[in-house]
């Protein structure tokens, strides 16, 4: 997947910032731009797409979902399916981080890939080792 480039597994909290103007958006867009020029590779658990597109439909209109989908796929992001390994690791991350199973999926994928977790959810992911928090610039 990476071709020797660093891999960042994105929590949906980062992907939402690609479309919705909110705190930390610049950092999320920077990851997307760096992936576009081949500096890094992006990956995310499958629910990333569902959550991001749902926010697009709710914040804008359902007509905006298709262009948003096209932008997500153009980023080159690898969408990681659930597997026995992902579910088991997510259960472990859920206990370790004290977050919901749903929130544990991105850290699980990062752990399995030996990748950096990128998240804007400090409450759920702040204790994940080496997490790249996408937060408001000061």
Domains, the chain: 7-133 (3.40.50.1010)
* Model confidence pLDDT, tens digit, residues 17-74: 999 999 999 999 999 999 999 999 999 999 999 999 999 999 999 999 999 999 999 9
> Quick one: pLDDT at residue 64?
97
> Quick one: pLDDT at residue 138?
45
4 — alpha (psi -120 to 50), left (phi > 0) or beta?
left
92: Cα within 13 Å, side-chain hemisphere: 13
Return the DSSP state at 45: E
**What Rg do the C-alpha atoms of the chain give, in angstroms?**
14
* Model confidence pLDDT, tens digit, residues 91-107: 999 999 999 999 999 99
Q: In whole angstroms, what is the distance from residue 46 CA to residue 51 CA? A: 9
* Model confidence pLDDT, tens digit, residues 103-135: 999 999 999 999 999 999 999 999 999 999 998
> Quick one: pLDDT at residue 137?
60
> Quick one: pLDDT at residue 118?
98
* DSSP H helices in the chain: 12-16, 25-36, 47-59, 65-74, 84-97, 101-113, 122-125
Q: In whole angstroms, what is the distance from residue 45 CA to residue 98 CA? A: 19
Q: pTM for the full model?
A: 0.94
């Amino acid at each position: 997947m990476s071709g020797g480039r660093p891999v960042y597994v994105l929590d949906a909290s980062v992907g939402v910032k690609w479309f919705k103007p909110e705190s930390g958006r610049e950092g999320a867009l920077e990851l997307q731009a760096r992936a576009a020029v081949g500096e890094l590779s992006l990956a995310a658990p499958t629910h990333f797409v569902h959550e991001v597109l749902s926010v697009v439909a709710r914040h804008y209109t359902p007509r905006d979902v298709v262009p948003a989908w096209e932008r997500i796929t153009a980023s080159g992001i690898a969408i990681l399916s659930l597997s026995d390994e992902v579910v088991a690791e997510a259960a472990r991350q859920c206990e370790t981080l004290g977050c919901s199973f749903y929130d544990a999926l991105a850290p699980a994928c990062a752990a399995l890939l030996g990748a950096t977790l990128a998240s804007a959810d400090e409450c759920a992911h702040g204790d994940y080792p080496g997490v790249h928090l996408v937060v408001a610039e000061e």
